Amino acid sequence: MDGSTSIELKQAAHVVQRDVSIAIAGSGGSGVMTAGTWLLDAAARAGLYGLMVRTSGPQIRGGEAAALLRLSGAQVESLDDAFDVLVALDWQNVHRFADEIPLRATSVLVCDADAGEVPAVFLASGARVVALPLKKMAKAAGSWINMLALGISGALAGVPQAQLEEAVRSGWKRDGDGLAANLRALNEGCLAVAHLAGSPLTGSAGPRRWLLSGNEAAGYGALRGGVRFVAAYPITPATEMLEWMAPALARTGGCLLQAEDELASINMIIGASFGGVPSLTATAGPGLSLMTEGIGLAVAAEVPIVVVDVMRGGPSTGIPAKSEQSDLSFAVAGLHGDAPRLVVSPTSISDCAATTHWAVQLAEALQCPALVLSDQFLGQSQAIVRAPELPEGAPQRLVAPAHAPGYKRYANTENGVSPMAIPGTPGVTYTADGLEHTEGAIPSSQAADHRKQLDKRLRKLTGHDYGSRWADCEGDAPLAVITFGSATGPVREAARRAAAQGVEVRVIALRLLMPLQAAALDRALAGVERVIVVEQNHGAQLLHYLRGAYDLPGQPASFHHPGPLPLRPAEICNALVAWAREEETLA
Amino acid sequence: MNDMCQPPGLAPETFGAQHYKSDYKPIWCPGCGDYTVLAAITKALATVQKPPHEVAVVSGIGCSSRIPAYTSCYGFHGVHGRALAAGTGLKVARPDLTVLVASGDGDGYSIGGNHFLHACRRNVDLTYIVMDNHVYGMTKGQPSPTTEPDWDSKLSPGGTGVRSFHPLVIALASGANFVARAFSGDQQGTAEIIAQGIRHPGFSFIEILSPCVTFRPEQRDWRNLVHPASVQPTDDPARAAKRIMTDDGFNIGVLYAGHRAPYAGGPSPASADMAALEAEFAV
């Protein structure tokens, strides 16, 4: 804590005044997630925007964990390239996060003076180390080390102490003495780094804001879209969506059933939806694999269902608690037979609500399965966001009236959608079938019936008007980036940075991945000479899917790497600038 | 068949077994026991007098699983082994419907084994009818979980050497609330047991010995082996288990009828609107 630190950080703080990245790391129940959650809550109270990504090792409880935050006066949808502040409560296994917590030379690393040597991997950044007797200070205050961390990180981030205190008061659910001790520790933390703290982040009295995770947003969107039955099997990182939905469904007149496995989950929701109740399940890659047989059944029997896949590192059990976008190929191609289905992907944490709502509407309107590709980053991160603009309207399932004369469940209608009789309706009983069938729902192995039903099931999807929600398009430059899902946030930020360096790119973030909207893509790509596809997986799955289904202009390029390391705006920006300059050189 | 058409003051229309039959001709082999099971199901539905459009028959894959299309009720013919899951989702979401799940020994006990265990313990109020012929008929004669270990087949020459599955004891141990064995050759008795199962609250499991005379012609002899259970149904699972474990496998009747409350996880009365949920996210 020499004098030069103070000056250096104040300069750094000035530069990052509207945008600060903070990591709080520790192990063994040291409470880093609580500190991070309350810091985000305090930021929300201070009128700020922000994002908190959770990362942890494979352990069930204890072990290493880190809360990765980015706070700003404006909405943020991505982590930054590096962290300005790292508060390390101890060093037990925290070095495992070295790749996930890159520091800068201007960063400040606050640690416990009695926790041993700072791992070399963190020192290599040149960050300023501030060693404080954290454990002793917490003990003196009668509180926990993470409350000191909250004060330290809050003060360094520029979140006013009054809001930090409010967050503690709101979050502390136990006795009053403990609360007083926590507030003492918080104050100690703020004081300990007061001389280092930069100017405060300033919030804005802008539009309505929400604080929620992508999993909660998806659950809310599903409920708002009309889902009233959920069956699911626990799996990381989808479980929190289900945990949010269970009580919310009970309050809104629905129910959630924990199934014995994913095979049961998918068939239970098909049964419930056959009964007329909009239904959903949520899972991750391994569960989706088990559900494919059932998804095919929903295609053939024309039963609307929504399957949310919160993607994680794969294949197989892979990396359960960390993010990747590697189930795309499976989602668009992973069923046997010719099985048209809907695949959508939210472009941000707040968009998880609107896109899941939309998925319910589409599944109901088109009587088919809709897969929602979320991922661990979107699902488990919490964010302060502008309240999303959500679709309007109740689900529109075309149902058959009672005693409809000559009723045929799978009638070959012009748009491919046939009225569905809901059990309990007299005079229109039928048997839904996963076997190929006639228009009248009788099993058939005849070529003409098969062809007719295949045509109908494809036609109802390809002929539908999906409106403007199929993608988010920005800019009109001759260079275009195509991306999807959680890659969208870092891509947007990279595009802004590239523009500051004189490289303009058009950004097309696909929300409707299947059926691919070729005509809309034609319009979105009008005037584009070259395309680069950005995604977070090893095999460039989106690029290959697009090239298989659509003629991209020029020689398409790709920027992609697998998880669990997040896509960083700087690496994408560098790739965009290099790609654009290569074009100039060639020209 | 629409009670809305009924003039007020008159007794509601009654349904006969024929009101639950569809016009479709079954694809089963001549002599198949499933014909009689179908007849017993329609007779049982006439006994309980639930209108056909308020009944749903759910099935998986196999000869037995063709049943839904042969009824005039709502039907769901799904995928192999998952009928109980689909039936469970339907009944939990729509408690007003009468749900029957139809299966066979391969579909229900092998690929669907896990769902069987959990349906028994979950105790959703539905009736599970398994047509057991100790063979995979639709795929032309392979051993099933209930096949005797020494039964010779192309897929298991000389027999599987694996002991037979005991569905009734497993159902009982897993928590089924009603356990019965029927024989398809006894149409009236089977219909009565199915009607009892439908009326009994909770998960009712009815194992129906239904011969496959094509691949197991020796099962024609079952007619001479079956006999009515000589005792009244018990509500004591330990006594029921002992009886079932020690009987000859041809003891016909209701063997256990418990009092466990059915699954109560269905839809709840709505108390919150979307705005109330939304307000919890606002900062």
Round to whole Å and give the CA distance between A171 and A174: 9
Smallest CA–CA distance from A296 into chain B, residue: B79
Whether the CB-CB separation of A537 and A509 falls below 8 Å is answered with: no
The string of pLDDT tens digits covering residues A272-331 is 999 999 999 999 999 999 999 999 999 999 999 999 999 999 999 999 999 999 999 999
Q: Judge whether residue B23 has pLDDT over 60.
A: yes
Please say whether the beta carbons of A471 and A517 come within 8 A. yes
Put simply, whether A301 touches B (Cβ < 8 Å) is: yes
Residue B243, sorted as left (phi over 0), alpha (psi -120 to 50) or beta, turns out to be alpha
Alpha-carbon distance of B9 to B12, in angstroms, equals 9
Report the percent of chain A where pLDDT is more than 90.
Answer: 87
Are B94 and A228 an interchain contact pair (Cβ–Cβ within 8 Å)? Answer: no
Query: Inter-chain contact A426–B4, Cβ cutoff 8 Å?
Result: yes
pLDDT averaged over every residue in chain A: 93
Phi, psi dihedral angles at B11 (to 5 degrees): -65, 145
Contacts of B266 in chain A (CB under 8 A): 255
Return the structure tokens found at A294.
């059932």
Residue in A210, A431, A436, A442 to test binding to B, most B beta-carbons within 10 Å: A431
Please tell me whether the overall predicted TM-score, pTM, comes out greater than 0.80 for this model. Answer: yes
Q: How is residue B7 annotated by DSSP?
A: P
Contacts of A320 (CB under 8 A, 6+ apart): A58, A235, A236, A237, A284, A312, A313
Q: What is the pLDDT of residue B219?
A: 98
Distance CA A266, CA A192 (A): 54
Rounded distance, CA A242 to CA A219, Å?
7
Across the interface, which of B3, B90, B266 has its CB nearest the CB of A271? Answer: B90
Residues in chain A with CB shorter than 8 Å from the CB of B94 are 272, 275-277, 423-424
Arithmetic mean of pLDDT, B123-129: 98
Tell me, what's the pLDDT at A175?
Answer: 76
Residue B171: CB atoms within 10 Å:
29
Residues of chain B contacting A263 with CB distance shorter than 8 Å: 81-82, 85, 114-115
pLDDT at site A200: 81
CA distance A304 to chain B (A): 14
Average of per-residue pLDDT across A120-136: 95
What residues of B are in contact with residue A211 (Cβ under 8 Å)? 281, 283
- Nearest-CA distance from A210 to chain B in Å? 4
Residue B277 has its nearest CB partner, among A220, A264, A427, at A220
Which of A223, A260, A429 is nearest residue B53 as measured by Cβ atoms? Answer: A429
Percent of all residues in chain A with a pLDDT value above 70, rounded to a whole number? 96
Of B66, B89, B92, the CB nearest to A270: B89
Contacts (Cβ under 8 Å, ≥6 apart) of A62: A27, A28, A29
The shortest C-alpha distance from B84 to chain A (Å) reads 8
Between chains, do A442 and B92 touch, taking CB under 8 Å as contact? no
The pLDDT tens digits for A210-265 are 999 999 999 999 999 999 999 999 999 999 999 999 999 999 999 999 999 999 99
| More confidently predicted of A85 and A176 | A85
Q: Is the ipTM of this complex over 0.90?
A: yes
Residues facing B99 on adjacent strands: B56
Q: Do A432 and B77 touch (CB under 8 A)?
A: yes
Residue A11 has pLDDT above 50, yes or no: no
Radius of gyration from C-alpha coordinates of chain B: 20
Percentage with pLDDT > 90 across chain B = 93
Q: What is the pLDDT of residue A587?
A: 56
CB pair distance less than 8 Å for A426 and B267: no
Residues 208-237 of A with CB under 8 A from B: 208-212, 216, 220, 223-224, 228-229, 231
pLDDT digits (tens, 9 = 90+) for A319-355: 999 999 999 999 999 999 999 999 999 999 999 999 9
With a cut of 90, say whether residue B10 has pLDDT above it.
no
Q: 3-state DSSP helix/strand/coil percent for chain B, to nearest 5?
A: 35, 15, 45
Which string of DSSP letters, residue by residue, matches A379-396?
A: HH-EEEEEPP----S---
Q: Cα separation of A377 and A486, whole Å?
A: 7
Which CA distances in Å does B79 have to A12, A334, A432?
62, 17, 11
Inform me whether the pLDDT recorded for B12 exceeds 70: no
Q: Are A274 and B90 in contact (CB under 8 A)?
A: yes
Question: Residue A2 has what pLDDT?
Answer: 39
Cα–Cα distances in angstroms (integers) from residue B5 to residues B1, B2, B54, B135, in the given order: 8, 6, 16, 46
| C-alpha to C-alpha distance for A523 and B72, rounded to whole angstroms | 51
Mean pLDDT of chain B: 94
Q: Can you tell me the distance from the alpha carbon of B93 to that of A233, in angstroms, rounded to the nearest whole number?
A: 17
pLDDT-wise least confident of A16-25, A265-274, B107-116, B144-153: A16-25
Specify burial of residue B269 (Cβ count, 10 A radius: 0-12, 13-18, 19+).
Answer: exposed
Strands B55-59 and B74-77: parallel
Decide if A570 touches B, using CB distance below 8 A.
no
Report the distance separating Cα B157 and Cα B173, nearest Å. 33
Does A260 contact B117 at a Cβ distance shorter than 8 Å?
A: yes
With CB atoms and an 8 Å threshold, state whether B76 touches A432. yes
Q: Is residue A537 over pLDDT 90?
A: yes
Nearest residue on chain A to B4, alpha-carbon basis: A426
Q: Spell out the residues 6+ positions from residue A177 whose beta carbon is closer than 8 angstroms to its own.
A: none
Residues B188-223 pLDDT 10s: 999 999 999 999 999 999 999 999 999 999 999 999
Ranges of H-type helices in B109-228:
113-122, 167-174, 187-199, 222-225
Kindly report, residue by residue over A155-207, the tens digit of the pLDDT: 999 999 999 999 999 999 887 789 999 999 999 999 999 999 877 888 877 78
What's the pLDDT score for residue A14? 37
